[in-house]
Amino acid sequence: MSITEATSGIIEGLTKRGMPVTIITGFLGSGKTTLLNQILKNRQDLKVAVLVNEFGDINIDSQLLLSLEEDMLELSNGCICCTINDNLVEAVYKILERQDRIDYMVVETTGIADPLPIILTFVGTELRDFTNLDSILTVVDSETFTPEHLESEIALKQLTYGDIILLNKTDLVPEKKVEELEDYINDIKAGARVLRSQHGQVPLPLIVGVELAQPETYLTDASLSKEQQSNHIANDGFVSVSFKSNRPFAVKKFQTFLQDKMPANVFRAKGILWFKESTRRHIFQLSGKRYDLKDEEWQGEPSNQLVLIGRSLNALEINQQLNNCLTR
């Protein structure tokens, strides 16, 4: 059976107990956004609502865009993208109240999010009467993952709550390491569905409409205090540093920053960059020690916008170093 044939049959098998929901979690740079793009690309007749923390995470071709209403994107294929902001419940209701048919909802958490509060939103509030939590899918970067990752409370919880563990980027590591990683994860989360993936590509029937979630388990874990749940970012020492400028970078100076001056405890960075030496904008993505630059035409006035995420970062020092990369 082809992926297309299998996907077209998903709608018939979806439960009538409420709109099915998949929560995608995973550590910084694991490939959650790449997986989301694959879902939107291969959804066939399935109309999907995607809830994300910011639109910039999803690379949507401009020709697919029909309308933009504050925090909601409507695509020409009928799919919806909605920002979560600070109120997930409100965002979900915006989707549920739409008159047009939506078959499935996908929620992407941030890379430094404890998935439990988001899970409880669907199984421990009135939303449980209108939605049906299908599964929690945890994306793992096969290249950069090590046991030391689990020293992070966040990363451990992301694995612990995963019904499906997607080992992404398996093309970047030897077969032996993938097998060792599979064994390691099976020790942590026995019974989880462990899948392999390259570039976030996975047949949708393996991750959509699977009904693997276990609401009773999540509600038991909800006995954690609110303080424990809300302070997870502070406990792990994660901070986000933002940089904006209406002046362009000098390419060589920015390269020097990446190679010699950027703190080693920056785990993730992304942004839209403006270089004096180029007439095009550059989409910047960094995960661990690996980074990528893709150029495209500017949409509006050129400027620099960059976000770095890591542990115990000195925002003032980083902003000064980036300012030194600007042209005079």
> What tens digit of pLDDT does each residue of 286-312 get?
887 788 899 999 988 999 999 888 888
> What would the pLDDT profile of 118-170 be if each residue is shown by its tens digit?
898 898 888 988 999 999 999 999 988 887 777 778 888 899 999 999 999 99
Residue ending a domain, among 233, 248, 280, is: 233
In a domain, 8, yes or no: yes
Domain span at residue 280 reads 237-323
Same domain, 123 and 185: yes
Report d(CA 71, CA 5) in Å as an integer. 33
CATH of the domain at 275: 3.30.1220.10
In a domain, 313, yes or no: yes
Q: State the Cα torsion 232-235-240-241 to the nearest 10°.
A: 160
Same domain, 18 and 67: yes
59 has a pLDDT exceeding 60 = no
Same domain, 50 and 81: yes
Report d(CA 138, CA 117) in Å as an integer. 15
In a domain, 328, yes or no: no
Total structural domains within the chain: 2
In a domain, 34, yes or no: yes
pLDDT band at 15 (very low <50, low <70, confident <90, very high): very low
Same domain, 119 and 35: yes
Beta bridge mates, 272: 283, 305
CATH of the domain at 151: 3.40.50.300
Same domain, 201 and 245: no
Residue ending a domain, among 204, 233, 262, is: 233
- Looking at 189-327, list the stretches that DSSP marks H as alpha helix, in order from N- to C-terminal side: 215-221, 226-230, 232-236, 251-256, 315-323
Most confident region among 70-74, 136-140, 207-211, 298-302 by mean pLDDT:
136-140
Q: Give the pLDDT mean for 256-260.
A: 94
Report d(CA 58, CA 55) in Å as an integer. 6
Same domain, 184 and 254: no
Query: Could you tell me which residue, 145 or 216, shows the higher pLDDT?
Result: 145
Same domain, 82 and 51: yes
